[in-house]
Structure 1
């Protein structure tokens, strides 16, 4: 069996619209027969990836970018090595290299994108690519010596090395979240983590927000514009899984300085600290989990079943305490019924409110800070993963 880190959080969202649907409404789902808040896993995963950089959790060079501007990215790297090249030559070489290793379709006939970018204005690829920054540098190293010659000859002479560079697993976020390129299956990476859609623990109603825009220089009371937008507020259950052996495999080519425990700790911190940015200037909705439970075990259970029956607040008591009771009871029931006695769970709980912490008394080690939880859980996952690897049981 494998070894997993599972994260469970209860988090209160104030009035907000952090993840909207195609009509601009907050995303929802029906669960347990009632409408709930939903925040898509894609939305929160992107928030986690960008938080790695904004919070300086992982060095920028150890990460990747998801973009259609990979040709411009490679062009800039190539020109740093060969400033004697014209920009057009560097773009042509970069386009040929990326097409050869990824199989991407040719850019559109109109060529350059109208969007402003932070890289050289070059044709954008037909689809977004998830490219490790070190991969770009390796491709530029290989292309630079022959960039002023025949492009076909350059590609032929360096084909194996270019392919190895493109397929190297040298970006932490690719190792964590995986990569899929339809035209180059050998570049695909299975994700080491799973992230669930955040799910409201109670029934929710979407609320309309009427607003008006007043012209500062008019002297009458008329509004220059009126409209409505929608929002909701909710307590949500969040869940993620990180599989130790899978992360070890995905970091096989990693050339940075972080070890398995440090990458895991960064993942935990980003899970807890990140927040999707949809409409954030209108709602200032950044919060932290009211409760965070981390468990290292051989099972990776989602505990959303605790909330299949929606939590109902009574007499203004709120949802969080009742949700914590439900979560603690459901966790205990499943651990008792399905837990592995030969590899007992190790759990840590961060809950600043003593009333919430009391629900997990005796079932998890209480910690007082996110850093303490992240270091303890990450160290345990690394230790158990390395033990499996040493015993030949890593799979």
Structure 2
């Protein structure tokens, strides 16, 4: 097997009578593909559930992981929050808001929602405490010092970021970060996530429901009458991990940390479900099929297998996936190494079958091949 540059993860996962991901009107998100309307789960939705999962394989539980926070209130709540004396802290706030969020940071609405890591926030807090301490209770002196501090902010925080591992936290190291006010703070995402979509035409219904007023004297006592949308479907999911980029983002402990990240990410993709309306639909599912591929050539989605909608069952979807993969192998012969998990007896060319733990362990060993 060539040294692996990319890990590709393909999944087929089924959900029944759920509302996994809603649009601004409260309806299921959709995608038109191959002339047929499909139910969709956005990549943003998928990534958030994997990032925040409270799970035995949670990303934040990995040894060496650093937390991060995404907010417009990083300065207000995490940098200056509870800093005393309050009038001096307020005097330096405009300079800190501008440094972090840019020239339009005078109002919360004008700020970009930014992702900052614990180490960046700790550095900012330490700088704020220093300025307040040196001002000796004088708000005007503090404001003047903070303005001067702001002029060197980009240079100083850049030096801090270069000197520590995971300055933007594990979240930024995996899923990237864009800071429009400071392009040097941008982090390239090594984990690329496609929108998941049903391999068949959408299956949806409008669910009419009522809420009964237990204290009503009327019969039947319906207090609320509403409708919601429910969908069912077999979803194709696709994730790519750029391994050299991942190791660069993770820093000095890259090999061990990258292995742990890949191990847990494979588990999360297979086992953690997106979904709203948990109490009324229990939208929990696990991948019925997971195919991992490692290789050194540009990745390619297998979504084309479902451009023509297949029958809404696992056997039809698996056959379509195998047929398309075989065609790609014949035409391109890129030689990816493969491992797979399947709830059926499906067999893919060159793919050794195993349990979820076994294929996750295989993925975890890939970074070691790059050193």
TM-score by length of 1: 0.81
Shift of 1:284: 0.9
Change (3 A) 1:63 1:323: same
Change (3 A) 1:261 1:57: same
Change (3 A) 1:27 1:236: same
- Structure-2 separation of matches of 1:256 and 1:337: 35
Change (3 A) 1:88 1:269: farther
2:336 alignment partner in structure 1: 345
1:365 alignment partner in structure 2: 352
* Preserved CA contact (<8 Å) 1:18 1:280: no
Total equivalences in the alignment: 352
Q: Secondary structure at the match of 2:131?
A: coil
TM-score by length of 2: 0.86
1:5 alignment partner in structure 2: 7
Shift of 1:52: 6.8
Shift of 1:45: 1.1
Between 7-16 and 158-167, the greater mean CA deviation after superposition? 158-167
Deviations, residues 154-203 of structure 1 (Å, cap 9, x unaligned): 44576632343367743221111111122221111121111001010011
Deviations, residues 68-91 of structure 1 (Å, cap 9, x unaligned): 120134336x75xxx6x2244335
Shift of 1:98: 4.4
- Structure-2 separation of matches of 1:175 and 1:104: 26
Matched, 1:295 2:281: no
Change (3 A) 1:186 1:28: same
* Preserved CA contact (<8 Å) 1:303 1:327: yes
2:85 alignment partner in structure 1: 86
- Structure-2 separation of matches of 1:308 and 1:346: 25
- Structure-2 separation of matches of 1:239 and 1:193: 11
* Preserved CA contact (<8 Å) 1:4 1:241: yes
Q: For 1:1-395, what aligned pairs fall within 5 Å after superposition?
A: 3-51=5-53, 55-59=57-61, 62-75=66-79, 85-93=84-92, 95-103=94-102, 105-108=104-107, 126-148=111-133, 149=135, 150-155=145-150, 160-165=155-160, 169-170=166-167, 171-219=169-217, 220-252=219-251, 259-299=257-297, 300-313=299-312, 319-340=313-334, 344-351=335-342, 353=343, 356-360=344-348, 362-368=349-355, 370-380=356-366, 382-386=367-371
Shift of 1:226: 0.8
1:116 alignment partner in structure 2: none
Deviations, residues 284-342 of structure 1 (Å, cap 9, x unaligned): 101111111111112311000111111125xxxxx1121112112212221232133xx
* Preserved CA contact (<8 Å) 2:4 2:294: no
In structure 1, the gaps of 5 or more residues are 109-122, 314-318, 387-395
* Preserved CA contact (<8 Å) 2:214 2:221: no
- Structure-2 separation of matches of 1:240 and 1:328: 18
* Preserved CA contact (<8 Å) 2:196 2:236: yes
When the two chains are superposed, the root-mean-square deviation of aligned CA atoms in Å is 2.7
- Structure-2 separation of matches of 1:334 and 1:63: 40
Change (3 A) 1:157 1:190: closer
- Structure-2 separation of matches of 1:125 and 1:147: 26
- Structure-2 separation of matches of 1:229 and 1:160: 52
- Structure-1 separation of matches of 2:154 and 2:127: 10
In structure 2, the gaps of 5 or more residues are 136-144
Change (3 A) 1:207 1:55: same
* Preserved CA contact (<8 Å) 2:4 2:369: no
Q: Secondary structure at the match of 1:144?
A: helix
- Structure-2 separation of matches of 1:91 and 1:296: 52
- Structure-2 separation of matches of 1:102 and 1:69: 10
